Chain A
Amino acid sequence: MSSQARIRLASTSLLVGFFIAWELICVIFQIRDIVLPRPSQVLMTLWTEAPGIWPHAFQTIYTTMVGFGIGIVAGVLLGVLIGSSKIAYDVAYPLLIGFASIPKVAVVPLLVLWCGAGTAPAIITAAITCLFPIVVNVATGLATTEPELEDVMKTLRATKTDILLNVGLPRAMPYFFASLKVAVTLAFVGTVISETVASNRGIGNLMMIASSRYDVPLVFAGLLILAVMGVALYAAFSIVELRVTGWTRRQDHLSMG
């Protein structure tokens, strides 16, 4: 365990070192605030502007979580649908990849056209951005169930639903939770993109306005908030993943492979 502690220490000092180096470079080369503000300035801005920033931060996290929630529900349903049969998987996969590879920024104007500016397009953008990794992972988890495991269930005259609930879904759980970590950060990206393009609230909007006023420290304050929220959500879902799918980490010597 001491090696793990050492890694944690190294990773923390890298983080702290990064900000110290940033600060020093700004001071030594006398970089102007409008180009690159010092971290200390960013923190100061964060502190003094907090009452103004807070509602925006709340808006962004709210939009992200709602969009993420919708993305999970839709993603699991689609994933189960596609992963439950080999044929559905093969037929739907090309279409899925096609949709997944459309840059979600390009969809925002369309969403604004349909639902107007504001929270609604942001929620939808968040949902569709995080949808695909969930669909693909759940479908893959289901589609790669060991045939012998299914044979055992079939000889017991298990129904499709029995197999899905007892074998398929539990087996897809590690894939699902691995996708959640990625999906939640993607939902963030979706929200901020939409807020930047068409909203009068949220961190994305705050950064747009700040940059139009050349308030670069405030832009960086926004970035910092996004980074912290993103890391926090990633960490939260990593912990959930560890709790729920701990069994995957200890079965590497198992014959099931």
Chain B
Amino acid sequence: MTAIPRANTFVELQGASVTYGRGERAVTALAPTDLRMEKGDFVALVGPSGCGKSTILKMVSGLLKASSGWVFVAGREVGAEPVRVGMAFQNPTMLPWMRVRDNVLLPLKIVPPFRGEFRAKRNTEFRDRADDLLNQVGLKGFADKYPWELSGGMLQRASLCRALIHDPELLMLDEPFGALDQFTREELWAIMQDLWIARRPTVLLVTHDLKEASYLANRILVMKARPGHVVEDCAVDFPRPRTIDMTYSPDFVALTQRLRELIVSVRPKAEPAA
């Protein structure tokens, strides 16, 4: 039987599961999961460690093959699709031998149709494009610095620029704000929201931070571990653009509180330490 992707759906998981190892030692990282994301959607995955959040993200970005089931992106099986994907991790992973601008430009060097024009435009159009993006995230004047000259928060901003420079249709964010201080984090949330409103990529965000998920996402999927699966799909309908002040409103607090209760109640019973 061949699965058929549904119309109007940009990302779709049909019974997709991931198992590591074989036989008795097999560990199910993700139980068969169904998931649909519209084009331009902003979905956050929250849950305890080991609940398969990152596994879903890796499957959708094509880094990990599903052990069973199907993963479709843009109506085709993942990997075959000519979709532009951007990715940012908790670790900014800048290449230390390149200036910040060249790091940001890296995707244009790789991804078609830009790669064909890279040599011709790297010092003109593409350069301006990188500098514009760096200005938007508050890194004006840092394009010619090397990564070791920047702080962790600045590197993370640059990493976001690198994830967005090739105008990705699909943006994968794997806890990109996790290692930052609260004020930098909140500022980057606002920047992220602005960028999303302006460009409307389809975003999948993995996070531990419930406030972050509620501030940024249109939908929050709460996950449970052992085996990893989705237990709740909450719509978040606060008006955009959202502000940090909003996060202290009763509705917002009620939402994060509900998410928190879900996660605490779905957490497996503590086992004796190994």
Is there an interface contact between A156 and B85, defined as CB atoms closer than 8 Å? Answer: yes
Which chain A residues lie closer than 8 Å to B86 at the CB level? 155
Q: A148-B93, A152-B93, A247-B97 are in contact. Are A166 and B148 (CB under 8 A)?
A: no
Cβ contact within 8 Å between A247 and B63: no
Asked if B235 is at the interface of the complex by the 8 Å CB criterion, the answer is no
- Residue B87 contacts which of A152, A162, A166, A248 (CB distance < 8 angstroms)? A152
Is residue A115 contacting chain B, with contact meaning CB distance below 8 A? no
B95 interface residue (CB < 8 Å to A): yes
**Stretch from B11-19, B35-43, B103-111, B251-259 forming part of the interface with A:** B103-111
Known A152-B87, A155-B85; contact A247-B93, beta-carbon cutoff 8 A? no
Contact among A157, A167, A170 for B111, CB-based, below 8 A: A157
Of the candidate stretches A45-53, A176-184, A249-257, the one touching chain B is A249-257
Q: How far is it, in angstroms, between the C-alpha of A253 and the C-alpha of B93 when the chains are bound?
A: 14
Contact (A251, B85) CB under 8 Å given A154-B62, A157-B111, A162-B110: no
Chain B residues positioned under 8 Å from A239 (CB to CB) = none
Residue B75 interfacial (CB < 8 Å): no
Q: Say yes or no: A149 contacts B62, CB within 8 Å.
A: no
CB–CB B96/A156 < 8 A: no
Q: Which of B72-93 contact A (CB under 8 A)?
A: 85-87, 89, 91-93
For residue B94, CB closer than 8 A to chain A, the reply is: yes
Find the B residue at minimum CB distance from A158: B110
Mask for B92-133, Cβ within 8 A of A = 1, else 0? 111111000000001101110000000000000000000000
> Which residues of chain A come closer than 8 Å to B155, judged between CB atoms?
255
Q: How far is the CB of B47 from chain A (nearest CB, A)?
A: 21
| Chain B residue at minimal CB-CB distance from A170 | B97
B-contact bits for A192-205, CB 8 A (1 contact / 0 none): 00000000000000
For the complex formed, measure the closest distance between the CB of B174 and the CB atoms of chain A, giving whole angstroms: 9
Q: Which residues of chain B are near A167, meaning CB under 8 Å?
A: 95
A74 at the interface (CB under 8 A from B): no
Contact call A156/B107, Cβ cutoff below 8 A? yes
B146 contacts partner chain A, Cβ-Cβ < 8 Å:
yes
Instruction: Check if A255 sits within 8 Å of B152, measured CB to CB.
Output: yes
Kindly report which residue of chain A lies nearest to residue B147, judged by CB atoms: A254
Number of interface residues of B (CB under 8 A): 28
Q: Given the complex, which residues of B lie within 8 Å of A251, measured CB to CB?
A: 96, 147-148
- Interface membership of A151, Cβ < 8 A: yes
What is the bound-complex CA distance between A157 and B89, given in angstroms? 17
Contacts A152-B87, A251-B147 given: A146-B93 contact, CB under 8 Å?
yes
B93 & A157 in contact (Cβ 8 Å cutoff)? no
- Interface residue ranges of A226-257 to B (CB < 8 Å): 245, 247-248, 250-251, 253-256
Nearest Cβ on chain B to A256's Cβ, whole angstroms: 6
Indicate if A153 sits at the interface (CB-CB under 8 A). Answer: yes
B193 on interface, CB distance cutoff 8 Å:
no
> Closest CB-CB distance, B228 to chain A, in whole Å?
20
B61 lies within 8 A of chain A by Cβ:
yes
B148 to chain A: which residues have CB within 8 Å? 247, 250-251, 253-254
Cα–Cα, bound, A152→B86 (Å): 8
A256, B106: Cβ atoms closer than 8 Å: no
B33 to chain A, nearest CB (A): 20
The answer to whether the Cβ of B172 comes within 8 Å of any Cβ in the partner chain is yes
CA distance in complex: A186, B33 (Å): 59
Inside 8 A of A146's CB, which chain B residues have their CB? 93
Of B87, B94, B97, the contact of A155 (CB 8 Å cutoff): B87
A156 touches B147 (CB 8 A): no
Chain A residue numbers with a CB within 8 Å of B87 are: 151-152, 155
A256 contacts across to B, CB distance below 8 A: 91-94, 96, 147
Determine which residue in A149, A151, A154 has the highest number of CB atoms from chain B within 10 A of its CB, and name it: A151
Contact between A254 and B91, CB atoms less than 8 A apart: no
Q: Which residues of A contact B96 (CB under 8 A)?
A: 247-248, 251, 254, 256
Complex-state Cα separation, A24 to B172, whole angstroms:
73
Distance between Cα atoms of A254 and B91 in the complex (Å): 10
Min Cβ gap B120→A in Å is 18
Cβ–Cβ contact A156 & B94, under 8 A: no
Please name all residues of chain B whose beta carbon is closer than 8 Å to the beta carbon of A162 when the two chains form the complex. Answer: 110
Residue of A nearest to B109 (CB): A166
CA distance A151 to B96 in the complex (A): 17
CB of A175 to closest CB in B, whole Å: 13
Instruction: Give the distance to chain A from B166, nearest Cβ to Cβ, in Å.
Output: 8
Known: A167-B95, A248-B96, A256-B93. A151 touches B63 (CB 8 A): yes
Interchain Cβ contacts under 8 Å between A and B, 11 examples: A146-B93, A153-B110, A155-B61, A155-B86, A156-B106, A156-B166, A157-B62, A157-B110, A248-B96, A251-B96, A255-B152
Closest 4 CB pairs of A and B: A251-B148, A156-B110, A155-B87, A155-B85
Given contacts A155-B63, A170-B95, 11 further A-B contacts (CB under 8 A): A158-B110, A162-B110, A170-B97, A171-B95, A245-B97, A250-B146, A251-B96, A253-B148, A254-B148, A255-B91, A256-B92
